[in-house]
Chains A and B, each alone.
Chain A
């Protein structure tokens, strides 16, 4: 079965420091991969997606992610975090069944920013 693992439940970084959130997936074919962000009490906002092509993808808010097939990983990075980046981050894989796509999410990583 398709699955996504986010090893870090909670990460704390200082404002201005770099960030890397880890994501590992299990999927039989070429995966469609996503990172979403969720602020408290809010829905999910798409940060970036990988469908094919260049394995380094750029997203909104200065985030990027790199797809590494050999490691089944899709880690999210940002060179310098801002206090407004504090939120919950979810990695997801698109599971294709009968021509339709559903999302399988990881458990999420809560990001706290120290001033």
Chain B
């Protein structure tokens, strides 16, 4: 079992550009959540996808959007990048419902210059 895989590992973008991050969930998981972790901070919830729809959203602007595909993999898109978007972006997968644990990928380190 490959676990949760994210790509790319590292990324450097210029302010104003757009970026797409990708996540493949752990085998059998149907729910994908995205988190942003700024340097020295705990992860902050961005949004969660289940059945190809956004089910919950954290306090992030509309510049952050996502998608889930029929195979449960997911993308996170960020438009009009700001310097403050520089962070580690973590993908977590789980089974839908309560009493479930989330498995995290290694993350994508995004640097905006």
A interface residues (Cβ-Cβ under 8 A, vs B): 4, 32, 34, 36, 41-46, 49, 51, 90, 92, 94, 96-108
Contacts and interface: CB of A to CB of B under 8 A. Distances in A.
B58 interface: yes
A37 B102 CA distance: 13
Interface stretch (B12-20, B65-73, B91-99): B91-99
Given A43-B104, A51-B99, A97 B56 contact: yes
Given A4-B42, A98-B56, 7 more contacts: A41-B109, A44-B92, A46-B101, A90-B42, A100-B50, A100-B97, A102-B45
Interface of B: 4, 31, 33, 35, 40-45, 48, 50, 55-56, 58, 90, 92, 94, 96-107, 109
Given A103-B45, A108-B42, A98 B107 contact: no
Contacts of A90: 42-43
Contacts, number: 67
A100 B42 contact: no
Q: Which of A4, A34, A44, A45 is the most central at the interface, judged by chain B CB atoms within 10 Å of its CB?
A: A44
A2 to B, nearest CB: 11
Given A32-B98, A100-B96, A107 B90 contact: no
A19 B56 CA distance: 36
18 contacts: A4-B42, A32-B98, A32-B99, A42-B106, A43-B4, A43-B104, A46-B101, A51-B99, A99-B98, A100-B48, A100-B56, A100-B96, A100-B97, A102-B33, A102-B58, A103-B45, A106-B42, A107-B40
A9 to B, nearest CB: 9
A96 B108 CA distance: 26
Contacts of A45: 104
Contacts of B98: 32, 94, 96, 99, 101
A99 B31 CA distance: 12
B7 to A, nearest CB: 13
B46 to A, nearest CB: 10
Contacts of A99: 97-98
Contacts of B42: 4, 90, 92, 105-108
